Chain A
Amino acid sequence: MTAKKDYSIEFNDSLLDMASWKNSRYDGSKIQGSQINKFVEGDPIYGAVGKKPVIENKVSALFIGNAIQDGGDATSSLDPLVEIKNHSYITIDAVLLINRETKEVTKISHEQFNESEDKKESFRRLIADNFPEGSEVVTKLLDISTPSQLKESHFVKLNQGLLMNIYSYQANDEGKEDGVFGGFGLRDQKGTLTDNIASGSNPGGGLFGFGMTFEDSQSLFNSESITTIDEFPSELSLYGTSIGTITSLNTITASNVPDNTLSFFNENELKFKSTQ
């Protein structure tokens, strides 16, 4: 014979809506922030510390470098980097990882990450994660005997690597339309370009035009306005070392006979190179 108990209990559901019931479980147990390491107006204020970021993620590392390069001259065919006025390329050679509890410092050099492509990528990601675009950094020389006029801080404009120049184009200063532009949309949607529509509250991809093939504009693209780099960067070694001299926007004019045999590269040569 088994015993049987009756567990019929009456529960008032309205209790679930009482503040004293739900505060500790929901409303009072979590807060949300808009950004990491930054207080944004509208974020909750907690504790007695004022406007403090809700989520913080602090870096326990320092970054060491030896080389600072400027971009040289955009109109020179010998300067390999893109010229960005009043800006420099800062290369990082080592990371000091710091254990805040034990005060131990572990130095990891760039070379230690060079063993495989994965490790190289992880080093670059470490840089990109710790120096997001738009963030502020402080730069200090380690040799205090070297005089400098460094600003108190600088801003990170790009964290992906070096911009290796291919060509530079100097626009005319006579107000002639060359068809070069950056923008965000085709107004009339002719043709079949896709994924180029952006306006107002519907931002999308932008557009870049590198010239206008209308006869009157073609003459604006010449050896004076275009400076090509003497040697292709190694990233493009597949195409040989010499870019040649680009002296026009479009070599074939309307009066030329269509030529389907115009082969840009010797395909067999390229295949050979790619298998070496």
Chain B
Amino acid sequence: MAVKSSLVQLYDNVVYWEIAKNTNRFFVTFDRGLNGIPNNQRESIGTAEITYPHVNSNTGSSDNFKLGVTRNTARFDTFLEEEEKDDGINQGYRGYITITELKGTRFFQSTITSSKFTTPTYTYQISGSNGLVTSTRTVSASYYYPNSSHQLSVLRKSPTLILDLDKANELPDGVGTKGFVIIPENTHPDIKANLDLFLEKAGYK
């Protein structure tokens, strides 16, 4: 069944729900991996793992939400902030505070943001039984702000590395018929010194 056409539904029904169930991990990559802080780690490609909004309704000891197959089995206010649940109706998507959390304590900076952070105030409109409610949040925006083009992805667990290897420029003719060997930084010096010998023994030469 198709996602109804809104990002809010996608996040609430699929992304947050999968994270809450611990069945999948989701990452956001800003601006195609450019302009991250140059530390050669994940931050340098503008990629961060997200989690679902940990609001009071699901962190209190007495009112944890129930995990099931679908989002519909959970409390209506599972991912909702205070203003969003004033009339007790879930998944109406009549406005939404579209903020969630990044996982971990990594560096949330980029070379785009001119200072360490800036403090924009965002406005959210929510329609409920009390009519139209306007809510604001002032945040410390520092990670790819402004110019926040981004891609959302789900992690496919596999023995795969992301390297700063520009395939088009570095391997214009591909990898050939035999593949390639990757040598970790901390490989024992004896192995580095006798690389051809070991590759030959394994049948790669």
- CB within 8 A of B32: which of A59, A84, A124, A226? A84
Which residue of chain A lies nearest to B157 when distances are taken between CB atoms in the complex?
A161
Inter-chain contact B127/A243, CB cutoff 8 Å: no
**Contact between B184 and A244 (Cβ–Cβ < 8 Å)?**
no
Contact, CB under 8 Å: B2 / A150: no
Closest B residue to A199 by beta carbon equals B140
- Is A148 in contact with B47, judged by CB distance below 8 angstroms? no
Contact A191 B160 (CB under 8 A): no
- Cβ-neighbour of A159 out of B140, B161, B202 (below 8 A): B161
**Number of residues of chain B lying within 8 A (CB) of chain A:** 151
Cβ–Cβ contact B47 & A157, under 8 A:
yes
Q: Which of A139, A160, A192, A209 contacts B56 (CB 8 A)?
A: A192
Binary interface profile of A, 165-189, with partner B (CB < 8 Å = 1, else 0)? 1111111000101111111111110
The answer for the CA separation of A57 and B201 in the assembled complex, in Å, is 24
The yes or no answer to A130 lying at the interface (CB within 8 A) is: yes
Whether the pair A158, B157 counts as a contact (CB closer than 8 A) is: no
In the complex, are the beta carbons of B92 and A252 less than 8 A apart? yes
Residues of B contacting A242 in the complex (Cβ-Cβ under 8 angstroms): 1-2
Q: Is the CB of A262 within 8 A of B161?
A: no
Asked if A39 CB lies within 8 Å of chain B CBs, one says no
Q: Which residues of B contact A147 (CB under 8 A)?
A: 172-173
Given contacts A59-B188, A167-B7, A167-B152, 9 further A-B contacts (CB under 8 A): A90-B163, A92-B160, A131-B182, A142-B181, A205-B51, A206-B104, A228-B3, A253-B94, A254-B132
Contact of B146 among A156, A171, A238, A258 (CB under 8 A): A171
Contacts A83-B32, A90-B163, A264-B4 given: A62-B11 contact, CB under 8 Å?
no
Contact between B106 and A250 (Cβ–Cβ < 8 Å)? no
**B151's contact among A82, A151, A194, A195, by CB below 8 Å, is which?**
A82
Is A162's CB within 8 Å of the partner chain B? yes
Complex Cα distance A185/B139, Å?
6
Assembled-state Cα–Cα distance A62/B92 (Å): 54
Q: How far is the CB of A169 from chain B (nearest CB, A)?
A: 6
Which residues of A lie under 8 Å from residue B132 when comparing CB positions?
Answer: 254
Q: Which residues of B contact A182 (CB under 8 A)?
A: 28, 30, 48, 102, 108, 110, 141-145, 148
Take A92-B159, A270-B69 as given contacts and tell me if A205 and B188 are in contact as well, using a CB distance cutoff of 8 Å. no
Q: Is A45 an interface residue (CB 8 A)?
A: no
Docked CA distance A208–B139 (Å): 10
Q: What are 29 A-B contacts with C-beta separation under 8 Å?
A: A58-B186, A59-B188, A61-B184, A65-B180, A82-B47, A83-B32, A88-B167, A107-B203, A123-B159, A134-B40, A147-B172, A147-B173, A164-B156, A165-B153, A169-B150, A183-B139, A207-B140, A208-B101, A212-B98, A212-B122, A213-B95, A213-B126, A221-B7, A244-B2, A248-B6, A250-B8, A254-B95, A260-B92, A264-B12
Question: What CA separation (Å) do A254 and B128 show in the bound complex?
Answer: 8
Complex alpha-carbon distance, A243 and B2, angstroms = 5
Specify the chain B residue showing the minimal Cβ separation from A218. B125
Partner of B182, one of A138, A203, A253: A138
B191 to A: closest C-beta gap in Å: 6
Q: Is A163 an interface residue (CB 8 A)?
A: yes
> Is A207 a contact of B159 with CB atoms below 8 Å?
no
Residue of A nearest to B28 (CB): A208
A251 touches B93 (CB 8 A): yes
Interface status of B115 (Cβ within 8 A of chain A): no
Cβ of A214 and Cβ of B124 under 8 Å apart? yes
